[in-house]
Structure 1
Amino acid sequence: MKLVRFYTTKGEIEAELYTEDAPATVENFIELVEDGFYDGLVFHQYVHDTFVKTGCPDADGTGGPGYFIKSELNGMRQLHDIGVLSMCNAGLNTSGSQFVICLDRNNVAHLDGNHTCFGKVRNKSLDELYLIRRFDMIKKAELDELDDTVDPDAID
């Protein structure tokens, strides 16, 4: 299982990436993380009980990486729910680097079928997620991989 960790001004947020459900989106995201693209970026938008938004190098929602990627909307995990990472777009096939982290299913359900879900915050990080506000920062983003074939309870 591939993970991303965001070290923010409000704490650490860890999310599983949907490598099988949105492979091209995850590949793009991983390349951006490896290039340090998200390091130092702010959450440029916060909508109460809806989402926090980041990934704009201009800190105002107008910027991106300089290219677009294709939308991936047909996977099994394309449901916007609490903690889901979802690519922003201005229409089909116009995502790049900006994404939201959903805060409430009722307020983001309209994104289903329109925006690519590419990961989900793990439960232990939800407290930190709900602290994020506009202009909080991602100090650093880094990747990790967990061996999900090993049962942690079986280890002595």
Structure 2
Amino acid sequence: MQIAEIHTKKGVMKIKFFEKDAPKAVANFKELANHNFYDGLTFHRVIPDFVIQGGCPKGTGAGGPGYTIPCELDGENQYHDRGVLSMAHAGRNTGGSQFFICHSRKNTAHLDRNHTVFGKVFEGLDVIDAIREGEVMEKVVIVEQE
């Protein structure tokens, strides 16, 4: 099984993927990570008790990889709670490279079945709370784990 590791100065977040629910979003994230797209990018949007967001090559929230992917909203894991990894977008079917990780279930119900949930942090949950706006993703790697 493959997982993602997001390395920051605050620690490492390890993420399991929801490949059955969101195969396109998972494949997209893995492809970008395997090509070092995320390395050195910032968490450009941090809202306490809500989300940390990153993946914008411009660092502003207005950038992406140069293409979009469709939303995948029908899986059983399409709810946003603590540690959930979800696609950010500017409207349905406009996701690309930006993603967010939820602080908690508080204030996130409106995201359910509107943003594609494609994974969840299973180790390093404390790192989510430690991230501040402008913090850098030193590297995002895809690794094999049994």
The TM-score normalised by the length of structure 1 is 0.91
Give distance in 2, aligned partners of 1:106 and 1:27: 28
Alignment of 1:7-156 (within 5 A): 7-122=7-122, 124-147=123-146
What are the Cα deviations for residues 58-109 of structure 1, in whole angstroms up to 9, with x where unaligned?
Answer: 0010000000001000001111010000101111110000011000212111
2:7 and 2:139 map into 1 onto residues whose CA distance is 5
The aligned length equals 146
Letter in structure 2 aligned against 1:102: C
Moved segments of 4+, more than 3 Å: none
Unaligned runs of 5+ in 2: none
1:153 alignment counterpart: none
Confirm or deny: 8 A CA contact 1:83 1:103 kept in the other structure: yes
d(CA) in 1 for partners of 2:126, 2:25: 26
CA deviation after TM superposition for structure 1 residue 136, in Å: 0.5
1:128, CA displacement in angstroms? Answer: 1.4
Alpha-carbon distance in 2 for matches of 1:100, 1:30 = 15
Higher-helix-fraction structure = 1
1:18 positional shift: 1.0
Higher Rg of the two aligned structures? 1
Percentage of pairs with the same residue? 48
What is the root-mean-square deviation of aligned Cα atoms in Å? 0.8
Asked if 2 retains the 8 angstrom alpha-carbon contact of 1:2 and 1:19, the reply is no
What secondary structure, in the 3-state scheme, does the structure 1 residue paired with 2:126 have?
A: helix
Confirm or deny: 8 A CA contact 1:38 1:141 kept in the other structure.
Answer: yes
